[in-house]
Each structure stands twice: as structure tokens, then as C-alpha cells.
Amino acid sequence: MERTQVPQDAQQTAPALLLRNATVIDGAVNQPVPALDVLVEHGRIQAVAPTGTLPLPATAGPERLRVLECTGLTVLPGFFDCHVHVSTRPDADRFDTLMAPESLLTLRSVPVLASTLDAGITTARDLAGADSGFRSAVEAGHVRGPALQIALRILSITGGHGDWRTVGGTPLDSGPGAGVVADSPAGFVRATREVVREGADWIKVAATGGMSSPRSAPEAGGLTEAELRAVVQEAERQGVVGVAAHAQGTAGIAAAVRAGVRSIEHGYLVDGPTLQEMGERGTYLVPTLSALTRPAPEHGPPHEVERRHRMRETALERLSAALTSGVPVALGTDAGIAPHGRNLRELALMVRLGLSPAAAIAAGTSVAARMCRLDDEVGTVRAGMRADLVVTGVDPLTDIAALGDPDAIRTVVRGGRIVRHTDVPSDAGRERAA
């Protein structure tokens, strides 16, 4: 397999790029349109038009214009994963992590970022762990990876999902991803300002306990509604993108929605009345099915194994109702808990729970872009948009599961630049993986 990994040098100007004779799924309407040319210049989509009808740049030549023959291939917008932890590994041993120097943890994230990009993800929202250095390093081209929005830390009550101290008070979670613990509306205003100071695009709150948290089960309450409101208000005042609420139990999800958070993460036990309110308010749901459906960790703590067994079936039922209720759904995997670099497996899981393949693609493109307030820039294949694109040999509308195999992603374009290109036919890749 020939795989070109183009070094990204932000200063260097990329040649214009013509994706010729592609079928285009634009991410918004999602009716595939065959036989289109997509012309990219200066990092943006200049035009999308029937094959052969575009006037090519006057000085066209191999250094000025690269042509990708896309006959039989489909071009989609670059995808979003709206819930990742690039600095966390699903197989990580907590003791090893505690004892590791910061540099090792950071450098281990370099291939994670690359594999996320290679899986077709051109924008990711990291919901705890990555600090602003990750975002800057990708933007500057020091490492290959998706553009990042970051939350840095989770805001949690004492004993809640972000409080990783031993009973004696020893922190088990230090460094940039450690939770911020507070216990009053004023305390959470301050915590919000603290993560904004560190460069947060999003504020992440623990509205309930969680599967892995040592003292706080998924059904347990996290921030009170008054505390959640204080965070939402301060987040608006500070002009961040929004508040993302880790919320698994029914009451905590409802409180977060009433308080006005922008996204519900997981949403496992969401009920009918809250779904209705989410629909009215336009609250986004990020169902993280990749994390929910992964096998319970073999050597995980017994409480986590028990919670996963206990909740899984009910959560799948509730989320199936949610996905077909019309609330806006954005793709997010919880990679870091779920495996990295297999992000688009989430598409098939969403389809299994009732989304159409086209709606699942929208969840990973145009809807995710809207949630992240980036829909003027990315998420659709349209003239004027930033050229973040994915080229695949599979037909995503008839075989959505195939997109979950990174070998099906032939080409990734980010900001008009080819950042991954492989000439292996996607079918061969799939046979090998099977």
C-alpha cells in the first residue's frame, strides 16, 4: 500500500486541487449527486459543478493543479467526532498513567491524532484531557490531526464524576485533564472562568455520575440545576461555544436541558418529556454509542463492569427512541474510552438504532458543524466552504458500516491540503480487515 503522508507546513501554499467526476454527498441534503467536479483553491472549495464544465485555473500545470480522478468514488465533507479524549487510551492502566511523565502522555497522543484524521475526522471536540497546546500544534502543522475544539477539564461536584481523589484525598488524576471540583453556583462560575483562562472552547460539566467514576453511579446527580444555570450563564458571558453536559441518568439529563446546556453527552436514560424539551430548545444529543456498546473492560473495576451490564439494554432502548424523536443528533464516540481511529463505526451504530444512513452522515457533518458553531466554515460540500473533504470508494448510503474501516477512507483533505492519500482499493482493505 502506498500511503502519502504529506507534511503540513502552514506557510507553504498548496496547489489547487480538482476532484474529478465524483459522486458528492454534500452533508446537508445528502442526496448523492453523480458526475461532479470539486475545485479547491487557497484552502477553500471554489466550485462544485458537473464534470468538465469548470474553467480551470489559467496557470494550470502539475505544480499548480493536482487532479484526483474520482470516477466511482464518493466525496463527503470531512467528518466531526464531537466527543473524544485524544490523550486517553482505552487500555491504559491507571497506575502507569499516574507514574508516567507528562511528556510521555502527550507524545503518545501524536499517533492518536493521526489515526483520527486518517479515519476521516477533520474536526474533533476533545471533552477533557487535551490542553490548548494540542489545538495549537495541529493548527501550526507540527502534528497531523483534526482541528480541535477543547474543553480541557470536567467541572464536577465533590464526589462527582470529575472528582478522582482517593478517600484520603490523594488526587489520582493530575495534569491538564484533571477535573475541577466546586460546590456552589459561585464556585462553578469561578471554575468556568478557570477553564476559559486555560483556553476552553467548551465548558464540560458532570451533570450525573458515570460508568467509571468511583463514587458516583450514572443515575446519581451531579451539579444542581442552579449550579448548571450558573455555568451556562457564565459560559455565554465568556463567549465560549457552549456547555457540554456529561449526563447519563434521567433526572440529571432533565436538569441539564432545563438549565440550557448546548449538548447532552451520552444521554443514556433520557425520557420522553426531556426529549420533547430538547426538541423545543434545540439541545443536541451526542449518544456515544461506540462507548456504550464496547465490551466491559476485562480488568476494569467491578463497579464499572456491573454498571455497564445493568444499563446497556435500557440505554440502547432509550437512545433508539431519542434518535428517532427528531432531536438534533451529533456524532461523538467517546474515543479514549472507545477505541481511537475507528471513529466512523459510530455511523453504523446510529443506523442500527434507527437513523437513516443519510441522517447519520448529517450527524457527523452538517449537524455537528452547527453544534460547534462552525457551519459557516465546514460540514458541507459547497462553494466557499473550507475544503475539509473525505474521498471513499464505498457507497455510504448502501453500506454505511464500511465507512467505519479506516482503509475505506482513501483521501482526506483538510484546509485544501491532501493530508492522507492511499491508492489501495477500499474493497481490498475491507477483505483484509474481515
Compare residues 48 and 331 and give the one whose CB is closer to Zn ion: 331
Q: Is 81 in the site for Zn ion (CB under 5 A)?
A: no
Closest distance of CB 212 from Zn ion, Å: 10
CA 15 vs CA 44, 129, 243, 415: distances in Å: 12, 35, 39, 12
Question: Which residue has its beta carbon closest to Zn ion?
Answer: 334
DSSP 68: E
**Residue 417 φ/ψ, nearest 5 degrees:** -115, 135
Tell me the window of 235-243, 268-276, 330-338, 388-396 that interacts with Zn ion (CB under 5 A).
Answer: 330-338
Output the nine-digit C-alpha cell for 193.
472562568
Residue 370 to residue 377: CA distance in whole angstroms: 10
Residue 332 to residue 316: CA distance in whole angstroms: 15
Closest distance of CB 164 from Zn ion, Å: 14
* First-last CA distance in the chain: 17
Q: For the segment 218-237, give every residue that binds Zn ion (CB under 5 A).
A: none
Binding mask 274-303 for Zn ion (x = CB under 5 A): ------------------------------
Closest distance of CB 157 from Zn ion, Å: 17
Closest distance of CB 119 from Zn ion, Å: 17
Question: In sequence order, which residues have a C-beta less than 8 Å from that of residue 199 and are 6 or more positions away?
Answer: 131, 132, 135, 150, 152
**Which member of 126, 173, 334, 405 binds Zn ion (CB under 5 A)?**
334
Task: Please name the helix (run of DSSP H) or strand (run of DSSP E) that holds residue 259, with its range, or none.
Answer: helix 250-259
Binding mask 337-356 for Zn ion (x = CB under 5 A): --------------------
Question: In sequence order, which residues have a C-beta less than 8 Å from that of residue 429 and are 6 or more positions away?
Answer: 405, 407, 408
Closest distance of CB 323 from Zn ion, Å: 19
Closest distance of CB 19 from Zn ion, Å: 34
Tell me the window of 70-78, 145-153, 237-245, 332-340 that interacts with Zn ion (CB under 5 A).
Answer: 332-340
Compare residues 289 and 385 and give the one whose CB is closer to Zn ion: 289
Compare residues 162 and 416 and give the one whose CB is closer to Zn ion: 162
Compare residues 25 and 231 and give the one whose CB is closer to Zn ion: 231
Compare residues 30 and 263 and give the one whose CB is closer to Zn ion: 263
CA 59 vs CA 64, 237, 432: distances in Å: 7, 49, 42
Compare residues 196 and 338 and give the one whose CB is closer to Zn ion: 338
Closest distance of CB 131 from Zn ion, Å: 16
Pick from 276, 282, 185, 270: nearest CA to 234: 185
Tell me the window of 314-322, 327-335, 348-356, 399-407 that interacts with Zn ion (CB under 5 A).
Answer: 327-335
Residue 213 to residue 284: CA distance in whole angstroms: 24
Binding mask 21-40 for Zn ion (x = CB under 5 A): --------------------
Q: What DSSP line would sit under 218-231, residue for residue?
A: TTSB-S-HHHHHHH
CA 181 vs CA 159, 187, 233, 394: distances in Å: 9, 9, 18, 46
CA atoms within 13 A on the CB side of 359: 15
Closest distance of CB 338 from Zn ion, Å: 9
# residues near Zn ion by CB under 5 A = 1
Pick from 425, 434, 412, 392: nearest CA to 1: 425
Compare residues 265 and 388 and give the one whose CB is closer to Zn ion: 265
DSSP 335: B
Compare residues 334 and 407 and give the one whose CB is closer to Zn ion: 334
Compare residues 315 and 381 and give the one whose CB is closer to Zn ion: 315
Tell me the window of 65-73, 133-141, 334-342, 398-406 that interacts with Zn ion (CB under 5 A).
Answer: 334-342
Output the nine-digit C-alpha cell for 252.
440529571
What does the binding site for Zn ion look like in residue numbers (CB under 5 A)? 334
